[in-house]
Amino acid sequence: MLDNNDIEEVESLEVKDVFLSKLYNREYKELFLKEYLEKDSTRESYTIYLMLIAETERMLGKDLFLFSAQDIINYFANAYTTSHTALRSAFSIFKNYVNWGVGRGFNNATGVNPFSTISFKKDILPLLNVKNMKSRFITEEQMWDIENLVVNYQDYVCLVLPFYLAKGEKCKELVNLTDSRVNGITNTLTLIDNSGEVREMVISQRVMEVVVKAGGEDVYRRESSDEKEGSIADLQESEYIIRSTRRSDSGSANAQAISARCKRLLIEAGYEDMSIQDVKMSGKLALLKRMEIENGGTLVVEDFQEVNRLAGDNDKNYNNLRETYNLYETAITKVD
């Protein structure tokens, strides 16, 4: 319990009350901040981290210095961020607080700091890698589920084609895609990259339907809270599939616009951490998974090289793809 001397020390602490008011067992946290830290700027930083774990403390009905090792691991497994730097700081601050609590005799359960039995690198970091993988990549099923949210197929085609490995450097394969390069009879796209390199890609009927719908749109519906003027813009008349709403020499949307359209749809679907490059990697991972199943559960170097070739990437740079796939496999086999 806190005594009168403790209370006097707390009353002299200068940290924004808006943060302190959100702490669990505020009087203990304030005493820790007063005794442990000298700089007010550091106290405020510590206070914010302690505020972030307050909800978990309330849910469990106990102070952090009474957490078990499993309580701590569970907290980090469901953490508010996937930033390794931020969570490493949180781990260190929480460990210091519990050390202080143990030293003051507040940990009546064991008198041992459970953080001393946990390694951030071995016990916490793998959990964060799993979480990061799940937030960065989508499955084929999830990608098609997004179609239910589609307002503009001009947006959706910017997500679907990269998933099926059509993108190119700086999205040039998408920028250069024209009506004449789409063969609806053979379901083939002729893709031209930034360097002028040409490749043919066979797509499914479902993907072809997305391309055709995107090319057939004449207007672009902007996100708007009402039907005010300007919520609908005309798409430029041109032979390009993905077209701009602004006047340009070609009428094609540029790489920035294509990436932004993909990102906008991802955010709406709840995949805020993903980019168009992550969508393409998701497609690579999905293809590798199918190949692994077809190969009886194994993948060899040539498989990773082949996927890179199909994506228009350098087949010699397969190590990064292999490492990403192994991490992803670990993530998707974890039970939520």
Contacts of 224 (CB under 8 A, 6+ apart): 230, 231
Q: What is the mean pLDDT of residues 85-104?
A: 90
Q: What is the DSSP letter of 334?
A: S
| Per-residue pLDDT reduced to its tens digit, 114-136 | 999 999 888 887 777 666 677 78
The neighbouring-strand residues paired with 138 are none
Handedness of CA 202, 206, 208, 214 (dihedral sign): negative
Separation between Cα atoms, residue 128 and residue 131, nearest integer Å = 5
pLDDT > 70: what percent of the chain? 85
- Mean pLDDT is highest, among 49-58, 59-68, 152-161, 316-325, for 152-161
Sign of the CA dihedral 48, 53, 54, 55?
A: positive
Residues whose CB falls within 8 Å of the CB of residue 292, separated by 6 or more in sequence, listed in order: 298, 299, 303
Structure tokens at 18: 């808006």
pLDDT value at 308 more than 80 = yes
Predicted confidence at residue 224, as pLDDT, reads: 44
Instruction: At 259, give phi and psi (nearest 5°).
Output: -65, -40
Reference 70, options 134, 29, 117, 106; nearest CA is 117
Q: Which CATH number fits domain 140-276: 1.10.443.10, 1.25.40.80, 3.40.1190.20, 3.40.50.300?
A: 1.10.443.10
Q: How confident is the model at residue 331 (pLDDT cuts 50, 70, 90)?
A: low
Reading the block at residue 134, the tokens are: 């799940």
pTM of the model: 0.64
Give the contacts of 46 (CB within 8 A, at least 6 positions apart): 33, 36, 37, 93, 97
The neighbour count for residue 170, using CB atoms within 10 Å, is 15
Which candidate, 333, 330, 326, 332, places its Cα nearest to that of 298? 326
* pLDDT bracket for residue 257 (50, 70, 90): very high
Specify the amino acid at residue 311: A
Q: Put residue 170 in one of left, alpha, beta given phi > 0 → left and psi -120 to 50 → alpha.
A: left
- CB neighbours of 241 closer than 8 A, spacing ≥ 6? 157, 174, 177, 178, 179, 182, 211, 214, 215
Q: What is the pLDDT of residue 67?
A: 92
